[in-house]
Structure 1
Amino acid sequence: MTSFAPSPTGIRIGSAPDSWGVWFPDDPRQVPWERFLDEVSEAGYEWIELGPYGYLPTDPARLRDETARRGLSVSAGTVFTGLHHGPGVWERTWAHVADNAALAQAVGAGHLVVIPSFWRDDKTGEVLEDSTLTAAQWRELTTQTERLAREVRDRYGLRTVVHPHADTHIDSEENVSRFLDATDPALVSLCLDTGHYAYCGGDSVKLIETYGERIGYLHLKQVDPVILADVVANGVPFGPAVARGVMCEPPGGVPALEPVLDAARALGRDLFAIVEQDMYPCPPDKPLPVARRTREFLRACGPARPAG
């Protein structure tokens, strides 16, 4: 696992393909990966995530070369899982996880972001399963997540951070607390996405203060409260909600990021805070100016840990 120097503690700011409108390994509406790498570096970031597996080069040597010559390092890979379905989905899930984890390890990342599967289709809104888990499904979700985290740690040296996400079963304050209370802190940490947690009615500062030892990683984003109110009132699925602009450029939405970062710094340890400006699909010239302004805004929020 990538090791951090013990002091000074702080926040390492980065960005991700998501901030360039990238949701899929290959999509004609997305910018080419070379442009993403060029522009994320130009915007002033030094850390990135891998994004959807296959978007960036999957050959580790090539990816290391492409990132290094732009002054970039990789903080994490990302996977989607449906572990509440139990052992029957393990082999298929592990095949997907192993590819991502191997690449993340090979390029020096220390984390694997695990996102639960959606209960409704994020494009069409089709309901795929009940939005509420049974007690048995909760047991499968927690035990299989621990199993995944143990395997990822033992085989690849990565820390598993589970990402509460809109339109999944780990979303609200109640469900996030239930998940954390039922999982082993030695195995499972949280990727707190400030935008998704606000989208689902949660208070990020309260969560950090309550479950500080479980906060292993941050995604920084905000929601537009006016658009969110309409999305909630009309049951709009996550994908169309993003297309409406529900995730907005800081500092124009909620939660306020300064208190979140202050609460995270108060934990007294190093954390990654990766900007994820959900805006799929978007015009190809939109992301870079937004990324620049967001980086400047975050610099004004307080000191970040130097790269290294």
Structure 2
Amino acid sequence: MRAGINVWTWGITSREQFEQGVKEVADIGYRAVENIASIVTLYEDEPEAFDGLLAHYGVDFVCGYFHLSGDFDKDFANAERYLKFLQGRCPKVMNLQAAGRAKDGVTQAVLAETARQATQLGELGQRYGTRFCLHPHYATNVERRHELDYLMEHVSESVLGLTIDTAHCVLGGMDPVEIASIYGSRVGYMHIKDIQPIAPEGAPWFSKFREIGRGVINFVAVAQELEKAGYEGVLCVELDGPRVSGYKSAAISYGYLKDELGL
């Protein structure tokens, strides 16, 4: 396994933001980065600038992150646009986040439609050499254990893998160690962040997230389950809201990966 980091928190609207994120994490020691898939639109007219930036800092772009919006025709077109750009450029994985969750919960029909869309995107990804991996995420249509189980059962493993996000597992009432044990053979990517389940009243849910080692998650046990399953991919650090700065949080998590997991 290797250490990686998602640099979307440095910003996703300009090349300067992307470069600053890459520059900072490379300085820490990360050699693999992820970002929101739409970042490629900043480089479509000059793909050599994208390639040159990564080469300059010695990092690989290993994964894009794709959200379902509720407009699948638009989503499908955007996914193909991003896949075309990324084809042959390192990433073999695209994270897939389900659409936003309704206040009254998720119906069987919504799960069935999510499975249909995931299947179509997974098949599209195959044509471009990229594997879509479902990312269960708080406040989306795949948040809870039974929703994850439904997608894993109703979408072929050949077209859809799984990304375990350790902190989102906890928010969704799941144990990331247990999920890694059950679905380890299907894991194609990992998002790792820690969590402190108790937050001040009224605070947003993502305010519970912490740097690795600063919360309650047993990352050693998670890594052990992944090793049992033969996972050799990226452990991607992500922190939606760094408490001081992106650089400081990334450095704390990198230190844990080196000292406790031996990456």
Taking structure 2 as the reference length, the TM-score comes to 0.90
Q: For residue 251 of structure 2, give the secondary structure of its aligned residue in structure 1.
A: helix
Percent of counterpart pairs with the same letter?
Answer: 20
Letter in 2 for 1:118: G
**1:113-165 deviation line (CA, Å, top 9, x unaligned):** 1111222xxxxxxxxx34423222222111221111001111x1100101111
1:241 to 2:205 alignment: yes
Q: Is the 8 A contact 1:74 1:109 kept in 2?
A: yes
> Which stretch shows the higher mean deviation, 48-57 or 66-75?
48-57
Alignment partner of 1:37 out of 11, 22, 27 = 22
- Please tell me whether residue 195 in structure 1 is matched to residue 167 in structure 2: yes
Work out the CA distance in 1 between the residues paired with 2:84 and 2:138: 27
Q: Which residue of 2 aligns with 1:133?
A: 106
Quote the Cα distance in structure 2 between the aligned partners of 1:201 and 1:217. 20
TM-superposition CA deviations, 1:5-51 (whole Å, max 9, x none): xxxxxx12100113x453x435xxx9822211110100110000133
CA distance in 1, matches of 2:93, 2:58: 20
Q: Give 3-state SS (helix, strand or coil) of 2:198's partner.
A: helix
- Take 1:38 and 1:248, find their aligned partners in 2: how far apart are those partners? 22
CA distance in 2, matches of 1:247, 1:74: 24
The answer to whether the Cα contact below 8 Å between 2:193 and 2:239 also exists between their aligned partners in 1 is yes
Comparing 139-148 with 129-138, greater Cα deviation is found at 129-138
Structure number with greater CO (CA < 8 Å, separation at least 6) is 1
Q: How many residue pairs align between the two structures?
A: 261
Contact 2:111 2:147 in 1 (8 A): no
| 2:240 aligned residue (256, 269, 278) | 278
CA distance in 1, matches of 2:18, 2:176: 31
Equivalent position amino acid for 2:155 in 1: T
> 1:172 offset after TM fit, Å?
1.4
Distance in 2 between the 1:300 and 1:289 partners?
A: 17
Kept after mapping to 2: 8 A contact 1:63/1:107:
no
Partner residue in 2 for 1:96: 78
Report if the CA contact (8 A) 1:249-1:290 is conserved: yes
**5+ unaligned residues in a row in structure 1: which ranges?**
1-10, 120-128
2:69 matched to 1:69? no
Which shows bigger deviation, 190-199 or 50-59?
A: 50-59
Whose helix proportion is higher, 1 or 2?
2
Structure 2: gaps spanning 5 or more residues: none
What is the distance in 1 between the residues matched to 2:116 and 2:51? Answer: 34
* Residue among 188, 211, 224 paired with 1:262: 224
TM-score normalised by the chain length of structure 1: 0.78
Q: Give the letter aligned to residue 125 of structure 2.
A: V
Question: Does the 8 Å CA contact 2:185/2:230 hold for their aligned counterparts?
Answer: no
1:116 aligns with 2:98: yes
